[in-house]
Structure 1
Amino acid sequence: MIKLLEPINIRGLEMKNKIVLPPMTMDLATEDGLVTEKVKDHYKKMANTGVGAIILENHYINIQGKQSERQLAIDRDECIQGLSEIADIIHKNKVVCGVQINHAGSAAHSAITGHKIIAPSAIIHPKGTEVPDEMTTEEIENVKKQFRKAAGRVKKAGFDFVEIHGCHGYLLNQFLSPLTNTRIDEYGGIRANRIKFPIEIVKEIREEVGKDFLIFYRIAAADNMENGLTIDDAKYLAVKLVEAGVDVLDVSQGLAGSRPVTNQQGFFVHLSEGIKSVVRIPVITTGGIKEGLFAHHVIEDGKADMIGVGRAILQDDQWVNTIKEELKDVR
């Protein structure tokens, strides 16, 4: 049997294979972030692709952290009903599923949110144009509570796990990176201080959802910018995240966003391999993976435990079935 296509059990949650549909923003929600028929139709189609797990696209936990006009929301109880319907749709296909929760920080735009944007420090985002307000201690506490409540709503909606978005230049990544965090209080300065905010969020969420509900964390394994986060920083964070209660690490990059770093597929595999070397929990890798044989070798070589395949499946909803045929004679 090909390891990629074998089930994986994560603390009692069994995926039928090791292929994950990663979170990809579709912008199909209502203007106030609620589920539409288009959203349900999209995930119904994705649930029939043969993947083992689906991570729903990033949902904003607070209007101030909204990223795009029709981004899905998880900032109020009104959001639960529509998300519950999606969870039911996906589960009918024997696919496990979770929701990614996020605050965009200085990557948000006041023209979209209607509010002043906030961040660890009053530094313009590398991809932005607005100077954010430096978050007060009270605002930090409020955002922690909003992440906690959002995770509780994910559980109430019937999902199997929640994923915290900690990369791609959003708020948690901004706290981690010395390029965007120049605070002089307990949340800034040395590395141990800069990881404090995301670690506290994980602990809050673990307390909210209980010990049996799974927590995924999408980790920024490198900023790919001069003087930014490095893989060594990410390894340090990864160990602390596991200690705080994270069950799965979903590896991507930081402030540089999700864009390719090479023309080759699997451009985050080297980062996943680095993270995997310091933790014993499952690690997901992504990065333009489009060939079944490539994905097979990543798993076989122990560089990751699960493979995130996004664009290839969006372009071809038979991708999983196709690679099953391609790999059936592989030894």
Structure 2
Amino acid sequence: MVKLLDSFNIKGINIKNRIIIPPMAMNLADAQGGVTQEVIDHYEKMAKVGAGTIILEHCYVDIKGKNSPGQLAIDRDECIDGLREIAKVIHRHGVACGVQINHSGSIAPSTVIGQKPMGPSTIIHPKGDEMPNEMSDADIDEVKKNFKDAALRVKKAGFDFVEIHGCHGYLLNQFISPITNTRMDEYGGIRTNRIKLPLEIVEEIRREVGEDFAIFYRIAAADNIEDGITIDDAKYLAVKLVESGVDVLDVSAGLGGARLITDQQGYFVYLAEGIKSVINVPIITTGGIKEPIFAYHVINDCKADMIGIGRAILNDPLWVQKAYEQLKDIE
């Protein structure tokens, strides 16, 4: 019987328990997106709490996809040394770690990137207020290269895996959603076309990093907006992602975030369970999970394989220690 505090192995990565600290934007980088001592100190603090894995906050693969001041960069080789220091600090505490790589697309603020944002189509994002430029074929090719190069930097910096950010309304989510993608070419229209860019990015990253390096993908399992992607769309994408080389699916929401979902803990668990029903790779779930016993039952009931605990651990660094105490008699 799989339990929350059991050890785990993913593609040779030894993980001491199934608790993950998910990506949470701290915005502590310098003006160029470089690693500061504050960033290192934050991740050392997180490495000490006892979780099995840490996924670094989303790092931009291109300045045109930067989301906010203080966001970490992974858009150039000069970023590698700083990120390597984070990996060393985390590994020193016996914790596995990876980096989430991202492009904000049409919700990259012009005040941050210094130009008009770009997206799949000339449609204002449901969470934005700027009309983006529609991406050309050359723009799409550049994005694919940027993701591929960023993934290789993650590997060179000494991390255990890379996570591709495909949800929360960012660029890859924008491509798969019919709300933000009304293109008439090979990257738009029918569902098969709208998922083409994420699949090509996964394939290019797999070729670049090799077969032994783990690829996670944070999947948008539902837009939670009328006419957006549904869990059935996400199931279809999940199967294709695994076929393309993804090792772990990290399940979250799309354009609308947690909109229309209860504020009770575990509000993405039903989405994770749906994705898990169609694929055979490990599944991560998150969504306001606060109580160790709740997390225990999610794992024990086979609804997910790993649990992301973010804000609860930020608020209480002893969360994992308390989980061991509370679950020792039933684990």
Distance 1:93 1:280 in 2: 30
Q: What residue number does 1:283 align with?
A: 283
Q: 1:130 to 1:117 in 2, by over 3 A?
A: same
2:244 corresponds to which letter in structure 1?
A
- Corresponding pairs, count: 331
The answer to whether residue 136 in structure 2 is matched with residue 136 in structure 1 is: yes
Q: CA deviation at 1:257?
A: 2.5
Q: 1:119 to 1:261 in 2, by over 3 A?
A: same
Alignment of 1:6-155 (within 5 A): 6-155=6-155
Higher mean alpha-carbon deviation, 260-269 vs 217-226, is at 260-269
The answer to whether residue 231 in structure 2 is matched with residue 231 in structure 1 is: yes
Q: CA deviation at 1:270?
A: 0.1
Q: What residue number does 1:245 align with?
A: 245
Q: What residue number does 2:156 align with?
A: 156
Q: What residue number does 2:212 align with?
A: 212
Distance 1:66 1:95 in 2: 28
Q: 1:260 to 1:69 in 2, by over 3 A?
A: farther
Tell me if the contact between 2:125 and 2:180 (Cα under 8 Å) persists in the aligned partners: yes
Distance 1:56 1:50 in 2: 16
Distance 1:212 1:275 in 2: 24
User: 3-state SS of the aligned residue for 1:223?
Assistant: coil
CA displacement 1:56-97 (0-9 Å, x = unmatched) = 000000000000011000000110001000000000001000
Q: CA deviation at 1:263?
A: 2.0
Tell me if the contact between 1:65 and 1:113 (Cα under 8 Å) persists in the aligned partners: yes
Tell me if the contact between 1:175 and 1:197 (Cα under 8 Å) persists in the aligned partners: yes
Q: CA deviation at 1:30?
A: 0.2
Q: CA deviation at 1:2?
A: 7.1
Q: CA deviation at 1:259?
A: 6.2
Tell me if the contact between 1:265 and 1:290 (Cα under 8 Å) persists in the aligned partners: yes
Tell me if the contact between 1:2 and 1:296 (Cα under 8 Å) persists in the aligned partners: no
Distance 2:154 2:260 in 1: 30
The answer to whether residue 267 in structure 2 is matched with residue 273 in structure 1 is: no
Distance 2:260 2:49 in 1: 24
Distance 2:166 2:26 in 1: 19
1:213 corresponds to which letter in structure 2?
F
User: 3-state SS of the aligned residue for 1:64?
Assistant: helix
In the alignment, structure 1 segments of 5+ residues that lack a partner are none
Tell me if the contact between 2:224 and 2:259 (Cα under 8 Å) persists in the aligned partners: no
Tell me if the contact between 1:120 and 1:174 (Cα under 8 Å) persists in the aligned partners: yes
Tell me if the contact between 2:11 and 2:213 (Cα under 8 Å) persists in the aligned partners: no
Distance 2:76 2:125 in 1: 27
Q: What residue number does 1:196 align with?
A: 196
Distance 1:115 1:83 in 2: 27
Tell me if the contact between 1:203 and 1:244 (Cα under 8 Å) persists in the aligned partners: yes
Q: CA deviation at 1:11?
A: 1.8
Query: What is the TM-score with the length of structure 1 in the denominator?
Result: 0.99
1:211 corresponds to which letter in structure 2?
E
Query: What is the TM-score with the length of structure 2 in the denominator?
Result: 0.99
CA displacement 1:131-182 (0-9 Å, x = unmatched) = 0000000100000000000000000000000000000000000000000000
1:222 corresponds to which letter in structure 2?
A
2:313 corresponds to which letter in structure 1?
I
User: 3-state SS of the aligned residue for 1:3?
Assistant: coil
Q: What residue number does 1:255 align with?
A: 255
Distance 2:55 2:197 in 1: 23
Tell me if the contact between 2:224 and 2:260 (Cα under 8 Å) persists in the aligned partners: no
Tell me if the contact between 1:260 and 1:267 (Cα under 8 Å) persists in the aligned partners: no
Tell me if the contact between 2:33 and 2:71 (Cα under 8 Å) persists in the aligned partners: yes
User: 3-state SS of the aligned residue for 1:4?
Assistant: coil
Tell me if the contact between 1:168 and 1:258 (Cα under 8 Å) persists in the aligned partners: no
Tell me if the contact between 1:117 and 1:132 (Cα under 8 Å) persists in the aligned partners: yes
Q: CA deviation at 1:127?
A: 0.8
CA displacement 1:2-61 (0-9 Å, x = unmatched) = 710010111211110000000000000001100000000000000000000000000000
In the alignment, structure 2 segments of 5+ residues that lack a partner are none
